[in-house]
Structure 1
Amino acid sequence: PESEKQFHDNPILYGTPILFPPNRISDGTFDYKGQTYHFEINEKDKHNHIHGFLYKEKWEVTTSKIAGNQVILETEIDISQHPHIYKQFPRHAVIRMSYILEEATLRQHAVITNKGEEAFPWGLGYHTSFIFPEDSSAFSLTADQKWELDERFLPTGQVEDIADKEQLHAGISLKNKALDDVFLSSDSSGRENQAVIYHQNPSVKVVYRGDEHIKHWVVYNADGTQGFVSV
């Protein structure tokens, strides 16, 4: 961001926001094990809840240390200590995030703990944005299929094959290609579960890899001319 105000006006686009839960919930309402959850409508034009409760919150730093050639940062949020979140999600959940920086690799690790007696539904995602000059960058993703979305960008329940999946595996231009798509994180190539950004000038390759817990990739780049891609 060019200023602190720009960051606070749209915090979802900078850094590595934690989404709990990620993506969209129709009308902000759903049922789980006899409990009805009502989340605030924060995507008003589509009447959805989007991206959960945590991306604007301050996390408690529980560990900050250097261990050998690693920098380790551990943070947590106890939802029961945040009344405006607990009102929407009345479950005693603790989310812990670990960040380990080692040379050119940053690892993120999440642990969700149920401190209560009732089961609760949860989902977790990362809205990580990367600089992406459309004229000199390419993007690849290990995916063969994506969810069909309706006019509110909600899944219809149908899965579609990706028409140009071979090009997507190899690396494609995103210039003028608007994406707000949800891909299944599996493909037929046998590659690791990853997205890759290729920069020409300077020559840099960014590999963003998820383990077996990451079942979907959401790719967003506004209208394909804004110089970023969020994965």
Structure 2
Amino acid sequence: MTGKQAYQDTYQGEPAVWLKFGRYEAVLLPEVGANLIAFRDVERGFALLHEPTQDEMESFKARPFIHGIPVLYPPNRFEDGKFPWNGRTLEFPVNEPATGNHLHGFVHSETWTVEDFGATATESYVVASLRVNEQSEVYKYLPFRFTLRLRYAISDLGLEQQFTVINEGDEALPCLFAFHTAINAPFVPGNSAKDYRLKLTIGERWHLNERMLPTGEFQPLTANEQLMKGEGVYPFFESLDNHYTVAPQNGRNRMELTDTKAGLTLVYDAGTSYKQWMIWNNGATEGFFCPEPQVSLVNAPNTKLPADEIGLFSLAPGEIWQERARIYVK
């Protein structure tokens, strides 16, 4: 047993907050977007999230999208870097030349403030926040005043994420968020990804054009996608960079990854505020994949689809939005 601890140290040379509780440990990197870079079952030797090696740290910090749990705001792609909002159009840098789009927003690499950390009889936890105002780099592109707050806790029940958004400005704030969560497959040492089956609470698959932007139409699910929605499918059955609506099952929006050999299932219960899923599996390369819970449709402000159907949410001045997620093994 590792005891119950929360302390500041380093991870691969990067300032970090470490959490330990019973069989679990987790690591948060406040200076790299408050990315929860590691969640491990140390008793069984499971690394549940895709972590960077020492050699990958510089490339990870330059593009922190395929390790840990990066925060995307605003999430995914925006056509020509344009973000129409309340009668004006915000201009984002086009940072994906292949598509001519802006990709993944502005908070994943910012330095967040560690507000609190500690250990109690029931959990070890850390709270980090990012306050955006006129003095912030983020404000150049998102000229709103707001605070993002992440609370991670580990306990006998696994990892809990609590995400809070507070509109501290005097106009409506776009509330479009996602997490580019990177899950190891396999997560049991020595086992094969071929033994793994993925389930995801998807509804319909959006048709994406050659720029990876939704056309507003749906495509029929393939037989393998029907398995992903139902009894489960090998996560690397083909190259995936797909966008789906959420269809909660049994009241929950979740991913389940089962190691059929070990008889264990990793559950990622993302919360029903997220109306869309992205899934990306690195060109069908075994090792890890990213099930990404996303509040809104890709490119949502540039579409003419009904706002409530595509998760195009806003927060009025003084309003607060919050959602919880949990990762655990059963």
Q: CA deviation at 1:8?
A: 2.4
- Say which of 268, 272, 289 aligns to 1:212: 272
Q: CA deviation at 1:191?
A: 5.8
Q: CA deviation at 1:201?
A: 5.2
Structure 1's 82 and 224: CA in aligned 2 closer, same or farther, altered over 3 A? Answer: farther
Q: Which residue number corresponds to residue 184 of structure 1? A: 245
Structure 1's 156 and 101: CA in aligned 2 closer, same or farther, altered over 3 A? Answer: same
Q: Which residue number corresponds to residue 98 of structure 2? A: 45
Q: Which residue number corresponds to residue 84 of structure 2? A: 31
Q: Which residue number corresponds to residue 174 of structure 2? A: 121
User: Within 5 Å, which residues of 2 pair with 1:81-230?
Assistant: 83-133=136-186, 134-164=193-223, 165-168=225-228, 169-186=230-247, 190=250, 192-200=252-260, 202-230=262-290
Question: Tell me, which stretches of 5 or more residues in structure 2 are unaligned?
Answer: 1-51, 187-192, 292-330
Give distance in 1, aligned partners of 2:170 and 2:205.
Answer: 36
Give distance in 1, aligned partners of 2:167 and 2:251.
Answer: 34
| Number of aligned positions between the proteins | 230
Question: Tell me, which stretches of 5 or more residues in structure 1 are unaligned?
Answer: none
Give distance in 2, aligned partners of 1:35 and 1:96.
Answer: 27
Question: With structure 1 as the length reference, what TM-score do the two structures score?
Answer: 0.91
Question: With structure 2 as the length reference, what TM-score do the two structures score?
Answer: 0.65
1:20-66 CA-to-partner distances (Å, cap 9, x unmatched) read: 11111111102111121111112121111111111112211111011
Give distance in 1, aligned partners of 2:135 and 2:214.
Answer: 30
Give distance in 1, aligned partners of 2:126 and 2:203.
Answer: 35
Give distance in 1, aligned partners of 2:110 and 2:89.
Answer: 24
**In the alignment, structure 1 residue 2 sits paired with structure 2 residue 53:** yes
Q: State the one-letter code of the partner of 1:72.
A: Y
Q: Do the aligned partners of 1:144 and 1:162 also contact (CA within 8 Å) in 2?
A: no
What's the % identity of the aligned pairs? Answer: 27
* Cα-Cα RMSD: 1.9
Give distance in 2, aligned partners of 1:73 and 1:90.
Answer: 28
